[in-house]
Amino acid sequence: MPELPEVETVKRGLAPTFEGALIETVDQNRPDLRFPFPERFVDRLSGARVNALSRRSKYLLADTDRGDVLVMHLGMSGSFRIENDLSQSAPGAFAHPKGKNEKHDHVVFHLETAARNEARVIYNDPRRFGFMDLIPRAELSEHPYFKDLGLEPLGNDLSGETLARLFQGRKSPLKAALLNQKLIAGLGNIYVCEALWRTGLSPTRAAGSLVTKSGKPSKAAVELAANIRETLQDAIKAGGSSLRDHTQTDGTLGYFQHSFAVYDREGEACRTKGCTGAVNRIVQSNRSTFFCPRCQS
């Protein structure tokens, strides 16, 4: 499933076309994806203008001038592509990227962009685990999708002090605490493994061990917060990680997977300078965890 960097990459790719655009009409090519489409989905969007495009956790949010927010989730295999009538050299202009079977084009947004150009934003999803919903903006924060989500890890809210507050007294494994969406929203398996390796922390140690007796963050907590943000930012710059289905909105693949230090590298030499250990794989909460037991403690 795409993680935060992949969703952020998609958001940034869509924004130049989607933001400020008039949705002239919508093609809804099936009654459901993971869930049924909301009632009057096409009618409620046709003629609306997209005021802003944002991301919350792994959700894409398109605010419309009708007071509704179009909520989009990519699921396991969802992706967007942009088709328009501009030259191939224009930002975001391309048609039918390699590997996208048009029979899985389930939603097509026909747009007049803010620059008065015609464009189509197409949602393709072979496995149909993604979904779309329409929620009134006034009800968004209390909607079940969002009301229990924790803080965003890319912003300044994530700090050593924040981790100390969230982890104090917690005996659960550090990796499990980092994946708890009620604490920190959007962190996924890949980038937690990578951030823990960068910090030299074992995924199995108690989350509360990063907090001093006085409730202050340990040095490791401060470093971990910085490394989480840095890992996510590095992945976004690389266009995310393309392991199966993720592509950017211009059809190209992300390439952060080529920078993995531990994820999916079981048995390979640890990349920490001077470490003679090898990457191990264990299972935590039915998910694979990759780490070096020699330099991560």
What residues act catalytically?
A: 2-3, 58, 287
> Can you say whether the dihedral through the CA atoms of 86, 87, 91, 92 is positive or negative?
positive
